[in-house]
Amino acid sequence: MPRATRVSRLTGLLVSVLLLTATAVACGSSDSDNDSGSSSAGGSGSSAAVGAFPVTIAHKFGSTTIKSEPQRIVTVGLTDQDAVLALGKVPVGTTEWLGGYKGAIGPWAEDKLGSAAAPTVLKDTGTGPQVEKIAALKPDLILAVYSGLTKPQYESLSKFAPVVAQPKQYNDYGVPWQQQTEEIGQALGKAAEAKTLVSGVEAKFAAAEKAHPEFAGASAVMATPYEGTLVYGSQDPRSRLLSDLGFSLPKDLDKVIGDQFGANISKERFDLLDQDVDVWIVPDTTASVTKLHDDKVYADLNVVKQGREVFIKETSDYGNAVSLSTVLSIPYVLDRLVPQLAAAVDGKASTQVAQPTS
């Protein structure tokens, strides 16, 4: 699809995979004890901690045991590559979600690639991972932490490598970035390094909250004009950016969303948009805004009248970083999002919410 319709493409992908999950066979317990001892390196990086293996990681389909330090890592999870890179490894294969980046590695993570070759980019159009192409990469670990993997897909991939699937306690595509980073750290034998990375990013959130006490208790919602009006639920990483900064999400949000990452709402539920701040991920920060404001029901909300909106272009590096919301992309996002939120939350229509200069 054209790049201009990225929200349609990526949201459609997530919806398709969620529908596949809903129609898959009932989930049961499954153990994978494939040996991950391949000696063919897929990237550079420091070695795992002594005594880190074997390690067993629980997930939606049971648990997976990784017997030795993985060297050839394939990321099926749409954002898992950032945690791998942050921990000093370069995947041999990544799964494309956003498009436009060599190896599916954004500018916030490029320096972690170093002199290593860019990963082979795999596709998932909504029908599941490209099993044969993944097998051809001879992985010794497959990561599907931020994913909507089904049990049949998990079982297919587990025939040739250990697979760490999404955690069962969250919606598909709903794992918090902290848990994603720490689980991948365990899988790579770098649990302590992962915790340090998480603490560093959490410190950035804390610093932003301290600098902006007005965020605490203020309400906010993340939305996009996809096939009408789609709002993201509390388990979506985009919404977590707001709650991690101290904002509260709409009270009935998850009741409307259900067990999905997001859902379209009718105009009768536009009360979910009348918050202290609305953050919109839009195709264009000019034409899309005009179209939103042409809707009389939306335009009549206080959030619009008082100028408390933030607009992020979906196909920009900034928009892509928001969608990923990883241990590497979040600092990049906070540098841009926090000033916009501060300008929006003051409630003064005269305060301009400026677009980032880079």
Q: pLDDT digits over 34-93, tens only?
A: 443 333 334 445 789 888 999 999 999 999 999 999 999 999 999 999 999 999 999 999
Dist CA 195 CA 335 (whole Å): 22
At 183, list the tokens.
Answer: 């689980």
Contact 88, 44 (CB under 8 A): yes
3-state secondary structure 21-88: HHHCCCCCCEEECCCCCCCCCCCCCCCCCCCCCCEEEEECCEEEEECCCCCCEEECCCCHHHHHHHCC
- For the chain, what is the mean pLDDT? 89
Place of tokens 């390196």: 41
- Give pLDDT, residue 148: 95
- Give pLDDT, residue 30: 38
- Asked whether the predicted pLDDT for residue 223 surpasses 80, the reply is yes
Sign of the alpha-carbon torsion through 213, 217, 221, 222: positive
Q: What backbone torsions phi and psi does residue 309 show, to the nearest 5 degrees?
A: -110, 145
Average of pLDDT values for 123-151? 95
- Give pLDDT, residue 155: 98
Q: Which residues contact 294 (CB under 8 A, 6 or more apart)?
A: none
CA angle 153, 241, 227 (to 5 degrees): 65
Contact 189, 52 (CB under 8 A): yes
CA angle 113, 74, 168 (to 5 degrees): 120
pTM: 0.86
At 353, list the tokens.
Answer: 């919410």
Contact 184, 143 (CB under 8 A): yes
Closest CA to 91 of 107, 108, 109, 65: 109
Q: Predicted confidence band at 300 (pLDDT cuts at 50, 70, 90)?
A: very high
- Asked whether the predicted pLDDT for residue 16 surpasses 70, the reply is no
- Give pLDDT, residue 45: 59
Pairing of strands 62-66, 30-32: parallel
Dist CA 309 CA 275 (whole Å): 9
Give the alpha-carbon dihedral of 106, 277, 247, 199, to 10 degrees: 20
User: What is the DSSP track for 127-170?
Assistant: S---HHHHHHT--SEEE-SSS---HHHHHHHTTTS-EE---TTS
- Give pLDDT, residue 47: 83
Average of pLDDT values for 192-211? 98
- Asked whether the predicted pLDDT for residue 342 surpasses 90, the reply is yes
Place of tokens 């990544």: 94
Dist CA 311 CA 278 (whole Å): 8
User: What is the DSSP track for 187-222?
Assistant: HTT-HHHHHHHHHHHHHHHHHHHHH-GGGTT-BEEE
